Amino acid sequence: MELTLIKVFLPTAMAFSIGILITPLITHYLYKYRAWKKSAGKGSGYGGGGTPIFDALHKERDTNTPRLGGIVIWASVVATISILAGLEFLFPDSVFGKLNFLSRSQTWLPLMALLVGAAVGFIDDLLTIRGDGRHFAGGLPLSQRMFVVMVTALLSAWWFYDKLDVDTISFLGFGQIDLGLWFIPAFVFVALCVYMSSVIDGIDGLAGGVFMFIFTAYVGIGLWQEQIDIAAFAATVVGGILAFLWFNVPPARFYMSETGVMALTMSLTVVAFMTDTLGDGEGVSVLPIIGFLLVATVVANVAQIMGKRFFGRKVLLVAPLHHHFEAEGWPPYKVTMRYWILGFVFAVVGLLLTIGI
């Protein structure tokens, strides 16, 4: 048990420490090369039209705060995994050799999803930074990013279906639902929905705190299921997020932006499926509970689009939902703190439902 806890929580401390150490260098280059948007605002809103309220709320911070802060998260995770894998290679018969959690059965897929999301998100951020307000101002088109998510999800779903013999999803204590080949489109649908929630990244510290609690809940689920490698992976991500949050709390030194949020959402989908049938658990069906704030963000965005397109009026003052609260007069730090509180509550509820069933 002691070795198990060390294997799970030592990577958390390592990722956090590595993140703290590398951030000054990352920050130096982000500010040196002025890695921020050249013009404030979104340009166009959900369902078309301008975004005057959003632009007014963010006109100062958008053009002097660097993007690409998500590098801190995924670089910390990759460095931690590499170090522990190297220790196993060098000292296979010692205690250090037992700390590596990179395994074909549990962590190859979430790591691959993290890296793909990080790389594509990095390209998107780079195009956004270099955009001149007309060309590439919004980075990669949403359709192209969604295509990457879909293809990655298809490959992951095929791996689950063909290599891991998984074609079912468990549903909150009611047993497994046999989907057969429909498991693959179900996986892709979940992946796309989770990625759509990435717009929750928009206020200092908000997305980092929300994802930190979500991944922490899956650390607990992985431990409960005795899937130690997936628990250690999720714990490593938590360590990277904590290092990011150290510098992202108001006023933020940088934004997570697409390279961070795309990496987190894509890997989260795989972690949820890893803690489902493979772990005799309900990792997928509790995801909407653990990540309720992500669900609320997506639902609010859809409602905003539908309201404008079919009824000619907005449901929210401005979307996504957290910016609506800003427009209502809530200070940004209050929105962030309340999201953190709710994120903790929903993570606990989801964890209790999982281990209590």
- The tens digit of pLDDT for each residue in 208-243 reads 999 999 999 999 999 999 999 999 999 999 999 999
- Asked if 265 contacts 190 with a C-beta cutoff of 8 angstroms, the reply is no
Whether residue 66 has a cis bond before it, omega within 30° of 0: no
Region for 192 from its dihedrals, namely left if φ exceeds 0, alpha if ψ lies in -120 to 50, beta otherwise: alpha
Query: With DSSP H G I counted as helix, E B as strand and the rest as coil, what are the percentages for the chain, rounded to 5?
Result: 70, 0, 30
What is the radius of gyration, based on Cα positions, of the chain? 20
pLDDT given for residue 158 in this prediction: 96
**pLDDT tens for each residue of the chain, 357 residues long:** 688 899 999 999 999 999 999 999 999 999 999 999 876 665 544 444 556 666 665 656 667 899 999 999 999 999 999 999 999 998 888 888 889 999 998 999 999 999 999 999 999 999 999 875 444 456 899 999 999 999 999 999 999 999 999 999 998 878 889 999 999 999 999 999 999 999 999 899 999 999 999 999 999 999 999 999 999 999 999 999 999 999 998 889 999 999 999 999 999 999 999 999 999 899 999 999 999 999 999 999 999 999 988 888 888 888 899 999 999 999 999 999 999 999 999 999 999 999 875
Distances (CA, A) of 223 to 7, 97, 136, 234, 281: 11, 20, 43, 10, 12
Q: CA–CA separation, 21 vs 239, rounded Å?
A: 13
pTM for this entry: 0.93
Q: CA–CA separation, 89 vs 295, rounded Å?
A: 42
Could you write out the DSSP letters of every residue in 288-324?
A: HHHTHHHHHHHHHHHHHHHHHHHSSS-SSSSSSHHHH
Q: CA–CA separation, 290 vs 283, rounded Å?
A: 10
pLDDT given for residue 37 in this prediction: 83
- Asked if 232 contacts 11 with a C-beta cutoff of 8 angstroms, the reply is yes
- Asked if 196 contacts 294 with a C-beta cutoff of 8 angstroms, the reply is no
Beta strand residue intervals within 58-211, DSSP E: 168-170, 176-178
pLDDT given for residue 355 in this prediction: 84
pLDDT given for residue 357 in this prediction: 57
Long-range Cβ pairs for the range 326-335 (8 Å, 24+): 326/57, 326/203, 327/53, 327/57, 332/203, 332/204, 332/250, 333/204, 333/205, 333/250, 335/203, 335/206
Which residue type is seen at 326? E
pLDDT given for residue 62 in this prediction: 65
pLDDT given for residue 57 in this prediction: 59
Say how far residue 133 (Cα) sits from the centre of its chain: 27
Long-range Cβ pairs for the range 221-225 (8 Å, 24+): 221/275, 221/279, 221/281, 221/283, 221/286, 221/351, 221/354, 221/355, 222/8, 222/274, 222/275, 222/279, 223/4, 223/8, 224/281, 224/354, 224/355, 225/275, 225/279, 225/280, 225/281
Handedness of CA 29, 32, 38, 40 (dihedral sign): positive
| Torsion, CA 197, CA 203, CA 209, CA 210, rounded to 10 | -20
- Of the candidates 197, 99, 112, 209, the one whose C-alpha atom is nearest the C-alpha of residue 151 is 112
Q: For the chain, what is the domain count?
A: 1
Q: CA–CA separation, 17 vs 268, rounded Å?
A: 22
- Of the candidates 100, 74, 106, the one whose C-alpha atom is nearest the C-alpha of residue 88 is 100
Domain that holds residue 284: 2-356
pLDDT given for residue 49 in this prediction: 52
Q: Which residues pair with 176 in a beta bridge?
A: 170
